Amino acid sequence: MSEMIGIYRLADKGPVRVLSLLLALLVAGCVLWDPSRLAIVPEPYAVLWVLALIWAVCSGVIHGSGLRLQTRRWQLLFNPLPGLLILLAAVFCFFFNGH
């Protein structure tokens, strides 16, 4: 658990925050523009992919807007680094998927 808090502190830098906000807004725009391009997973797992995208966008906006979470519970829930990985995967799938 303390490792995740250390990861949160590692990501608590200005450039990472800007990247987080830009990726979150880009993915949100991509979902609104053409949601079918992000439908890359088989049907039973589509719900989990969509929930992961929603969580990653929320985490990216919370982190990127400069909100500093004080309690460990919220730092674990909205840890930006897993969210950044999901956002990067979504951007890659949107722009480099064969649709």
Tens of pLDDT, residue by residue, the chain (99 residues): 667 667 777 777 888 899 999 999 999 999 899 888 877 777 788 888 889 999 999 999 999 998 888 888 888 888 888 999 999 999 998 888 755
Give residue 44's Cα distance to chain centre: 21
Dist CA 58 CA 55 (whole Å): 5
Question: Which pLDDT value is given to residue 35?
Answer: 82
Q: How far apart are CA 88 and CA 32, in angstroms?
A: 17
pLDDT, residue 26, reads 95
* Predicted model pTM: 0.85
